[in-house]
Structure 1
Amino acid sequence: MRRITMAIMTTIAALVLLFSYRTSTSGPATGSATVAGAAPAGVVDDPQADPTPTPAATGAPKNATVNGPAVQTRWGPVQVQVKITGGRIADVVTLIQPDANNRDVEINSRALPILRTQVIDAQSAHIDGVSGATVTSDGYVESLQAALDTAGFPS
């Protein structure tokens, strides 16, 4: 009798834990979408940059600041801004990142600086991404590539 009671209680506890487990606070939508609070995609006025991107000998603009679109990922939107100076990617700023829960914040606080470094080192959107932050990495690259395409930066 004691074993049966213990088995039933263990089964009930396991079922309660299983059914109360939440994998995410957001839905599985992906792709570009209008996101509340997102900066408009396209060339941004930058007082230090030329008002119009001018192609260098390589076809890349000499100076431009461009927002990529907000890309809706499974865990939330991702949007980046790329700053091109002297025909090179000088900086990438994350404008929007998934932050619906503490785990998102923890993952992205580690992954976004790594993604930024990879982009500046590669001088393109062709980067490895970050293991454990694949969804954010994919959204980051999609927003970045759209910004680079808008700027006329060569792939």
Structure 2
Amino acid sequence: MRKAAVTTVSTVAGVVLLLSLKPHVNAAPAVAAPSPSAPSSAPSSGAPSPSPSTSRTTSASPTGTYTGATFTTRYGPVQLAVTLAQGKITAVKALQTPSGDGRSQQIASYAVPQLTSETLSAQSARIDAVSGATYTSEGYVQSLQSALDKAGV
């Protein structure tokens, strides 16, 4: 009988502890992605959308550098500049990455090169997030998509 009571109390205590934990992975990011079909309103940083640094070509394949909107993540802002040559992504430069503390800087310095490499391979914003850098990855993809939308790609 004593064994059953100890087991029951232990099980109840374990369930209560598990239910009281707040999962980090399921928390929603601080920004919502702009819909690709609708024109983007002001980015979450409150600043007006930056314009492309070079003008669009008149052909169907844009060439130039396009700056994406700044997206504020839980750990800091993310903003990218994407360089296109005849519609192909040739370079991605991170203009802003989370840098509020040492850990955020470390995660960004690890994740951004991987995200950039994947972007150059995929030639789109349809890339996988880097494990352990979910918020940075989400901000990266959103800013990347914003820049590609400005380019008309």
Query: What is the TM-score of this pair, normalised by structure 1?
Result: 0.68
Deviations 1:33-92 (A, max 9, x none): 2368xx9522113xxxxx433333xxx31x121000000111111000000013210000
Native 8 Å contact 2:65 2:83 kept in 1: yes
CA contact (8 A) 2:49 2:69 kept: yes
Q: 1:43 aligns to what SS in structure 2?
A: coil
Gaps of at least 5 residues in structure 1 are 1-22, 46-50
Query: How far did 1:129 drift?
Result: 1.8
2-structure distance, mates of 1:105, 1:127 = 21
Gaps of 5+ in 2: 1-23, 33-42
- 1:4 corresponds in structure 2 to none
Q: Determine the C-alpha separation between the residues in 1 that align with 2:58 and 2:127.
A: 26
- Asked if 1:54 is matched to 2:55, the reply is no
Query: How many residue pairs align between the two structures?
Result: 116
The letter for the 2-side match of 1:55 is: S
> In 2, Cα distance between the equivalents of 1:30 and 1:86?
31
Q: Alpha carbon RMSD of aligned pairs, Å?
A: 2.1
Residues 30 and 73, structure 1, Cα contact 8 Å, conserved in 2: yes
| Partner SS for 2:140 | helix
- Report matched runs for 1:13-24 at 5 Å: none
Say whether the 8 Å CA contact 1:80–1:143 is kept in structure 2: yes
Separation (CA, whole Å) in 1 of partners of 2:46 and 2:99: 14
